[in-house]
Structures are given as C-alpha cells and as structure tokens.
Structure 1
C-alpha cells in the first residue's frame, strides 16, 4: 500500500493515465475522420465508428471532466447549445403528445445532436491534422465514385443520401487543392475526387443532390474570389470548373436527362390534375398536407411520429389525397413543422443560420471553414426535397463534418505538408 503513495509511483500512474487519455482521444478523432471517408461506400462501418467515438468520448469526459470542459470556444458552445435544443424539442414532444408507433425511433435518430457535445469536446483537445482531414474528404469522394462504377450501384446507403453526400464531398475536395498544389502528384487528387464524386451523384439518380450543384459552385467561386489578389483572374478557376462540370455531366448525361425529363412531366401532370401518384406528385401533395397541418397546429405541430395520423385525418375530411405510403414530408422544414410546429422550425433554422453565418465570417481564416459553409449550403438545399435530420446516416455525416469544420482554428498539420514536400526529391526535380 505504501508503494502506491510513493511520489515516483504516483507520477508513473499519472503518466500512464495521460497516455491512455491521449490514445483514446486521438482514436475518437480518427473515428470521426473515418466517417466522411467511408460513409458512401463502406457503410455501416461509418455509423459504427461514430457510435464508438461517442461512447469513448463520454467515458473520457466522465474520467476527466475538468480537462474537457475547460477553454471551449464560444462558437462551439453556441453550436452545442443549439444542437441540444433541437434534440430536446423533439424529445419533449414524446411527453406532450401520446406516443405513436414511430415516436421513439424518430427521436432516437436525432440523438446524434446531443452526442455531438461529447464528441466535439474531446476532439477539441485532440484536433486532427489538416492533411488527414483533406485526405479523408478526398478519399470519401473517390471511394463513392469508384463504388458506383465498379459495382454499377447507387451507393452503399440510401441513394438519395448517397447522392447528397457524394456531391458535397466532390466540391469540398476542390477546396483542398491549395494544400496539395506544391506536390506534382498529390495535387491531382482533389480534381480526381471532384470528378468521381460528381459521377457518384449522377449514378445515384438522386435529383435533389443535383439541385445542390449551383449553390455549391457559387460557394466555391466566392471562396476562391476572396482569396485572389487579382480578382480578374477569377475567370481561370471559373472556366476550369465549368469545363470539368460540363465534361462530367456529359459522361453522366444518359442518366441525368431521363430523370430531369421525368420530373418535368410529373410536375405538369400534378398541376394538370392527371395524377399525383408519382415521385414529384407525392412530394407536392405532401407539402400541401404539411401546410394544412401547420395551419391547424401552428405552435407545437402534432407530435413526433403522428404525421401519418394527421394526414389520414385530412384525407377523411376531403382536404388531402391518400398519402398512406409516404414515410416522411420530403422537406426538412415541413418535417419539423409537422412534428414540432413553429418551435421546431425555429430550432432548425436557428442552428442552420448560425452555422452558415459563423463559417461565412471565418472564410478568410481557414479553408476548412469553406467546407463548413458548403456543408450548410448543401444540407439546406438537400432539405428542400428530402428530409435531412430524420435519417441516421445523414445525421452521422452532418455532426462529423460540423465537428471537423468547427475545429478549423485548432486543426494542426504538425510539420506542414508543403515544408515536407519541399524537401522531397519529387518536388525538387
């Protein structure tokens, strides 16, 4: 017993604890970086990695609360609060309204936003190296593209989610070009990732992901513009992007054109009163139902999991056509409005606009902030035609990327890649 209290033994024990903490903290960061790398082609391993990261984070925080709750930057604190509020509003509806069949599962899906708090606190003390962040983003886009080409598939997850994730990773990869531009070989990777990420999106046949291409392209061009000393030179990256987009679209045109033409026809049929039982028709009818539900239940909605009942009630009153086969509102604002009313919509818009404003204001500081801006622009666009925060896969990807992007000011690269590569024979050749 006396040996345990010996100063040297106590010091050794402290050092061992510190090493274990460091190893586990680094593991949490590695697991979160694995999410963008693997979620399109290797899922469910990405979701398992995120769950494991959350579990380890909770254990680390409980074992050393003082360390992990100190010196948390204000933007991260605000984001943590907004995420917890968003989750809490949904969870509260379980106690306000009678539980429905899918209430708990729907609430459980948004648990990611509460677990984000533990993950970001640990990653803040163990930030990732910038080079590894870029390689995981680039690797994710490349893997997604290769997966659809080799297997002829629409992705390893729901095709709609896969298309959205792939197109985001494609544009995010281009931001990394400045990090690798000094190396003759590695600077090709961002361009390759962009092309393969776009192809993955086209092969997914997810039209909602294609809608995100214009706003993501504008975000990219704006980031490039503010970092150009000679603003007139914007024409160079703009032309290059247009050529690559046109070329990639040409390759995938055989899949793009039929889907676009079909959407136009379905839109026309719905408003002509011919048929609503199409992909576009169901969405438009669902939006109508969502507005009717909000009109009748503006403040709190009808409760999480009660959408089907609310739509059935509207149908019996002759206000809505049959939507019994529809599983969600196909729009994130309407989904939150149906389940949580204007309070739910406000909580969604608050977290999205706060993050949008934060990343926009930080664009001059770090390229990772541009990735964060693209993430919010992309998810905001995806949410117009699909739900984003009621899918476990989308939530896993979203919180992982928000955590990575918020750490931009603490992300380190050790010895910078450029310095190391400047000494390499390849660079000096």
Structure 2
C-alpha cells in the first residue's frame, strides 16, 4: 500500500508543469492533488522524522519568514486579504516537502511533465495564435495568454523551456540518449515559442542569466558549450530580426522607456506615462517615493493604492490607472513593508538559492544535480521576472513557484536519504 501511494505521489508531480498553462485553474488542481497525497503519505508514515540538515533549516526558515512578515502587515494594518492568501501558500506547501523527503520517488514523472508542459505551452500558444489569425484579431492589441495574463503565460513558458533543456544533465542516465536529447531540445524550442508569441518582454531579461548558468554548470565538453553559446546568441537575436511582432515589442519598449527618461522638453510626459513601459517607470517612481516616506515598515499593503492616488492628486506622479502594485517586486515590497519586509524578501530568495546551489556544488549524483539546477533556474527566473512585474500578486505564479520549490527540494531530500541508507 505504501509503495502505491508513493508511486501516486511521484506521478502527481507531473501535473504542475503539464497543467499550469494548458488547463483552466490547472495550477490549483495540481496543488490540491499534490497536497492531499502528501498529507496521506504523512499520515501513513507518522511519526515523521523532522530532523533537518543545515541547508534544510535555511530552506524552511526562508519559506516561513517572509510570509510571516506579510501576515503581520495584513493583520496589524488595513486588511488586504489577497496578500495573506497568496503568501500563506509558501507555508502551507511545507508538508509536501516532508512527504516527498520521506518517500521513495521516481524522477521520471516530473522530468516528463516538464517536457510535456513546455511542448504544450508552445502548441497552445500556436493554437491561440491561429485562432487570432482566423478571426483577424490584432496580436499587438490582444496578446496570447492562455488562461492567464500574457506576462505570466510567457514567463512560465520560458521557465519550462530552460528546465527542459536542463534535461541534458540526465543524458548519461537515459536508455535512448539521442532520442532524449532531441526531445529535450524540441521541448526547449516549443517553450521558447510560447514565450515569444506571448510577447512578455520582461521575462526575456532572464535569458542572458540562463545562458550563463548553462555555460558554467551544464555537464558537457567545452567545445559543445562554445557551440551552445553561439546558438544561444542566435536564439536571442533571431526572433528580433526575423519576427516583426518580436521586433515591434522590443522596439516599442525601448522607445517608450527612452521617451519617458527624456521627456522633459520634447515629449509630453503625461502621454508617455500612459504607455506600457512609461507606466511601469512612473509606478516605480511612485513606489520609491512611498518607500522614502515610510522607510522602516512601509505604508502597508492595504494603503498602497490610496497612497498612489494621493501622489497623483498632489502632482508628484502623472495620472494613470490606480494599479494595486508597482510592477516591480523589490520596489513594491519596499513600499508596503519597508526595509523590514525587503530584508525578509531577500532572505526568502537567498535561502532557497542557497539550498539548491549548495546541492549543485556538493553532489556527484546526476539526478540531484538536475533537480538543483532547475531549482536555481526557477529562483533566478522568478527574481528577474519580479523586476518588471509582481509575480507573487498572481495566484498561478505563487502556486507554480511554491509547489515547484518544495517538489524539487523534497525529491533532493529523498535521494539524499536513499544514498545515506544505501
């Protein structure tokens, strides 16, 4: 019976990458399945060994600290229950980590799920794009987004793409190596297609960092890394020069930002602030002004929007829609929770990164290296995404990140437990 439950738990890890972009409420469905199976496993294995290594303590502390800061912010000041709901999930997924750590798991479902999720993202975006073409919908006005917003769809698609490419860590473990390499590359390109069609420019800022990580840590010969660097540059520049939509998205963003920064005389500042890039820059300015007035504890999540309106009325920033966040995680956290929350935010990312990075450097096991590397890709990706959006203000992004972190870490813990008892 225990073996069957563990097999079901392994299979459930396939659901998050597969369903997140291709099924309505897919992330929520997956999270419920994984959590329920994890609680079942914990009930069967009770009492569970909760002794933790140093890196595990850092991981759990990181997952708990920042949400606690947000909880105090929400409870002690004007309630903004949305934030409480989202950030509590980083604590609620911790049982999944312990269930996975205590189980004998199969890596294949998660590996296959990432490949299928990336391929599905590409196919889904192509399907939606073909519908737009059929109904003469202008993709510049109505971007590809699946069941999410275009930014979230594009960012997760990009992450699934690079996670698929990380399958190269497991080449030596594959029975059919050439087929495995081809499938990993196919999934990588399909995920890229999903990101490109969605047109989420902010996510593309992470690509150079992904390339650096692959060049340093991918277990292939240097001449292949050099070839990979050349191919990566082509991949980065190719869509810009060969695809009018990508070129238009990049050029528009650059022009809007340039106009905003040089708008003193030649361009109407209020008009530029209404553009996508201009509005973001104006929101960043507003968040920074709010932080400077409330540097220690911030203005509070419940008062942010009202403070934004106050600054518009005072003429400190240009008029624009009263967004509920600053479209920049770092600045938004500074604005609503001050330096206290910002330190918690940095510890959150640093602690998770430490767990995966220390595993990558210390382990000689291919499966551990694979899991830790895609964990680093996940953390780096979300941190970079947060520079131009507020990922944790979106239900799907929170679930995808939190479930993937504890899934990857839990599987690493399971492998380490098996290696110690072998």
Pick one of 50, 60, 67 that aligns with 1:80. 60
Distance 1:29 1:331, change over 3 A: farther
Instruction: Give the match for residue 133 of structure 1.
Output: 110
Distance 1:51 1:335, change over 3 A: farther
Which region of structure 1 is more displaced relative to structure 2, 31-40 or 281-290? 31-40
Counterpart of 2:386 in 1: which secondary structure?
A: helix
Pick one of 167, 192, 195 that aligns with 1:198. 192
Instruction: Give the match for residue 32 of structure 1.
Output: 13
Q: Aligned ranges for residues 314-353 of structure 1 at < 5 Å? A: 314-353=311-350
- The separation in 1 between residues aligned to 2:296 and 2:318, in whole angstroms, is 24
TM-score (norm 2): 0.84
Please report how far the alpha carbon of residue 238 of structure 1 lies from its aligned counterpart in structure 2 after TM superposition: 2.5
Instruction: Give the match for residue 97 of structure 1.
Output: 77
Aligned pair 1:382/2:385, yes or no? yes
Residues 130, 411 of structure 1: 8 Å contact kept:
no
- The separation in 1 between residues aligned to 2:74 and 2:162, in whole angstroms, is 39
Please report how far the alpha carbon of residue 409 of structure 1 lies from its aligned counterpart in structure 2 after TM superposition: 3.3
- The separation in 1 between residues aligned to 2:281 and 2:59, in whole angstroms, is 33
Please report how far the alpha carbon of residue 361 of structure 1 lies from its aligned counterpart in structure 2 after TM superposition: 2.9
Residues 195, 244 of structure 1: 8 Å contact kept:
no
Pick one of 233, 252, 255 that aligns with 2:245. 255
Please report how far the alpha carbon of residue 23 of structure 1 lies from its aligned counterpart in structure 2 after TM superposition: 4.3
Structure 2: which 5+ runs fail to align? 130-143, 364-368, 416-422
Q: Aligned ranges for residues 68-217 of structure 1 at < 5 Å? A: 69-99=49-79, 103-126=80-103, 128-152=105-129, 153-180=144-171, 183=176, 184-217=178-211
Please report how far the alpha carbon of residue 328 of structure 1 lies from its aligned counterpart in structure 2 after TM superposition: 1.5
Pick one of 275, 280, 286 that aligns with 2:277. 280
Distance 1:325 1:315, change over 3 A: closer
Which region of structure 1 is more displaced relative to structure 2, 297-306 or 377-386? 297-306
Instruction: Give the match for residue 293 of structure 1.
Output: 290
Which region of structure 1 is more displaced relative to structure 2, 107-116 or 126-135? 126-135
- The separation in 2 between residues aligned to 1:285 and 1:249, in whole angstroms, is 27
TM-score (norm 1): 0.83
- The separation in 2 between residues aligned to 1:238 and 1:270, in whole angstroms, is 34
Bigger CA radius of gyration: 1
- The separation in 2 between residues aligned to 1:316 and 1:31, in whole angstroms, is 51
CA RMSD of aligned residues (A): 2.4
Distance 1:249 1:40, change over 3 A: farther
Pick one of 370, 375, 381 that aligns with 1:372. 375
- Measured against aligned partners, the alpha-carbon deviations of 1:119-149 in whole angstroms (never above 9, x if no partner) come to 1111112254222221111111100001011
